[in-house]
Structure 1
Amino acid sequence: MQTEKIVDYIVNWLKDYAINAKVNGFVVGVSGGIDSAVTSTLCAHTGLEVLTVEMPIHQAPSHVTRAQEHMQQLSERFSNVKTTRADLTPVFEAFKTEVDLEGEETTVNMALANTRARLRMTTLYYYAGLHKLLVAGTGNKVEDFGVGFYTKYGDGGVDLSPIADLMKSEVYNLAAFLKVPQSIQEAVPSDGLFGDARSDEDQIGASYPELEWAMTMADAGKTADDFSGREKEVFTIYKRFNMANKHKMEPIPICIIPKNLK
């Protein structure tokens, strides 16, 4: 992997896109995770205006600490980076008082978790409109096009996706090159949508290295019958998420009316 050349390519791509769109730069939601840290650092390297936003909602203290460490480091390294914080916990709690919370507990909790992501998306677009910025997505290739591990119109609601063609392992390579804080590089991946310590692997049932392998095998035309043991289990997990989340990864279906009916 030609890490330095990839970094240069993404930075130039970001800069060209922003200039052609006639905007001032980018806004990035910072979570304390590897993907948002790499994305915001890449945006910072463009020299354009970058606003990083921390948006806690009952967030685990470790996530808050890492996010703040990264934002401080980035603003010290790059004069074009500004930071802000929007505590969305009161907004989230107010939302819960106005909706029906009856139903199966797991279903309600998942709906509320997705609501957190959508509140953050709304916040990022508020700042984007305020400062004439683009919302930079932080999803990697496995999440965005493999298992669909993101919220539709939440963290999936962005203007452009600079790292969506990179596997998670490749994002880690960029993180080391870009000098992302070590605490973030070593942290266990977690979406932080439930306010507890559960990791992405806890939710999915497979690690990112395993999912990368499964995605590669699926793209090569393999099926579950080609494997056994843990490999078969991981491949089955990958295919289950991939099929269930197609509605996120494919264009919104449009009902095309036949011309003879118009």
Structure 2
Amino acid sequence: MTSKSSFQSEAINKHIVTWLHAYAENAKVKGFVVGISGGIDSALTSTLCAQTGLPTLCVEMPIHQADSHVSRAREHIKNLKEKYPNVSSAEADLTPIFESFKKQLPDTDNPFILNLTLANTRARLRMTTLYYFAGLHSALVAGTGNKVEDFGVGFFTKYGDGGVDISPIADLLKSEVRELAQYLGVTQTIIKAKPTDGLFGDDRSDEDQLGASYDELEWAMEQLENGKNHNDFTGRQKEVFEIYKRLNSVNQHKMNPIPVCEIPKELK
């Protein structure tokens, strides 16, 4: 993907790092905890947190993880620790916990529902682990979701990877994440890796699950924001627009605040 001429990497980098530092100071915490997956979003988020100079703990949480994910995560953490003395790391192998958890719960005859539920369970076990480390270190859990995931198609687990204290890159499109990661020297193996959530124990990518690439979804997001509808497109464009529209609609419950049933004053 070509660079966006209007994307000011240096200024955006400085803006996010300043925001992170100020937020941590105001919250009176010592630093940040970031879950490292071997993907570009967590690599960028942890690099931005490291730049604040505040203690930044990178946590690996494998659950039947693919070797390629593990090796990329470890390579990134190694590089980050060499560059920033405030970076430390920890590993929590959650595979035995995940297997024990499964044994205590009922099964289902629907393999699709079972696999999806277990995938979300993995994400929620990781969230719990990150908050454990955050509690030990008086730190904030930094989210790794980008704008398309968090506010476009809702491609995250509610109270899993969506359960965070702050979201430093949630106003960056995936293409902008790549741009900023490139600027900051994130490892090329991570930048070029096919995006995947790694929650199913196989090699399926985000695109396999979503039915469209992030570049396509960014396009659809822009079209919807500009008031377009599916009748404005044909072929693949129409297909992608409908995919985006459907995911954006069904996942609103993730993006909107928890609904509160407000009791009329005359009833209280």
Q: TM-score range by the shorter chain?
A: over 0.9
CA distance in 1, matches of 2:198, 2:239: 25
2:264 matched to which residue of 1? Answer: 258
2:248 matched to which residue of 1? Answer: 242
Matched, 1:81 2:105: no
- CA RMSD, 1 decimal: 0.5
1:120 matched to which residue of 2? Answer: 126
CA distance in 1, matches of 2:184, 2:60: 20
2:113 matched to which residue of 1? Answer: 107
CA distance in 2, matches of 1:23, 1:65: 31
TM-score between the two structures when normalised by the length of structure 1: 0.99
CA distance in 1, matches of 2:119, 2:161: 12
C-alpha displacement of 1:101:
1.4
In structure 2, give the amino acid aligned to 1:175.
A
Matched, 1:68 2:74: yes
The Cα offsets for residues 111-166 of structure 1, whole Å up to 9 and x where unpaired, read as 00000000000000000000000000000000000000000000000000000000
1:181 matched to which residue of 2? Answer: 187
The Cα offsets for residues 145-188 of structure 1, whole Å up to 9 and x where unpaired, read as 00000000000000000000000000001111111111101100
1:154 matched to which residue of 2? Answer: 160
C-alpha displacement of 1:260:
1.7
After the TM superposition, which segments of 4 or more aligned residues of structure 1 sit over 6 Å from their partners? none
Matched, 1:213 2:200: no
In structure 1, give the amino acid aligned to 2:189.
S
Q: 5+ residue gaps in structure 2?
A: 1-6
- Tell me the secondary structure at the aligned position of residue 82 of structure 1: strand
- Tell me the secondary structure at the aligned position of residue 134 of structure 1: strand
2:234 matched to which residue of 1? Answer: 228
- Tell me the secondary structure at the aligned position of residue 38 of structure 2: coil
C-alpha displacement of 1:103:
3.2
C-alpha displacement of 1:102:
1.8
- Tell me the secondary structure at the aligned position of residue 57 of structure 2: strand
CA distance in 2, matches of 1:183, 1:31: 13
2:61 matched to which residue of 1? Answer: 55
- Tell me the secondary structure at the aligned position of residue 167 of structure 2: coil
CA distance in 2, matches of 1:102, 1:201: 27
The Cα offsets for residues 71-98 of structure 1, whole Å up to 9 and x where unpaired, read as 1110111000000100000000000000
1:29 matched to which residue of 2? Answer: 35
What number of residue pairs does the alignment pair up? 262
2:3 matched to which residue of 1? Answer: none
CA distance in 1, matches of 2:107, 2:90: 31
In structure 2, give the amino acid aligned to 1:245.
N
